[in-house]
Amino acid sequence: MTGIAVYPGTFDPVTRGHIDICERALQMFDHVVIGVADSLAKEPFFNIEERLDMLRLVFDDNEHISVKPFSGLLIDFARDCGADVIVRGLRAISDFEYEVQLAGMNRSLAPEIETVFLTAAQRYAFVSSSLVREIARLNGDVSEFLHPEILRRLTEKLEASK
């Protein structure tokens, strides 16, 4: 294990797929900084503070993981964190083209920072935050895809938004 990796995303909400990628990244890197994008363009369901709080709750017992917000260029955030690597999760081949474009652009902007792709574990390959939210909104069971506390918060927020 060496170095610091940044694992960026909106995490709206954090799923077991995200958790799996982060835990696997820790097998390769000394420290993982989860960068929570304040991506207003995506119109997140949970605000930035809620998403930060949920991630901190999930990873509270791991001193090798920190959770930080960011806006602006990912490369600037990675540099600020002292990261050598950006970790990106790939669920399906449809993710690959977009992620390779991002990695190429990031390499152009910061050749000293590498991008590493981790494929989703098979049981999470189809899980996305937006899909989990939609199924939950329609009263489907998403408990296997979320930490119990995240499920509780999602359920409460959906109830409050009705």
What token pair was written down for 102? 């991002």
Give the number of domains in the chain.
Answer: 1
Measured distance CA(136)–CA(158) in Å, rounded: 8
Q: Are 6 and 88 in contact (CB under 8 A)?
A: no
Domain range holding 11? 4-160
Q: What is the DSSP string of 11-38?
A: -TT--HHHHHHHHHHTTT-SEEEEEEE-
Residues with catalytic roles: 18, 42, 91, 129
Q: What is the pLDDT of residues 93-149, one digit of tens each?
A: 777 888 899 999 999 999 999 999 999 888 988 899 999 999 999 999 999 999 999
Q: What is the pLDDT of residues 72-91, one digit of tens each?
A: 999 999 999 999 999 999 88
* Nearest to 114, CA basis, from 89, 79, 85, 88: 85
What's 21's domain CATH number? 3.40.50.620
Q: What is the value of pTM for the model shown?
A: 0.93
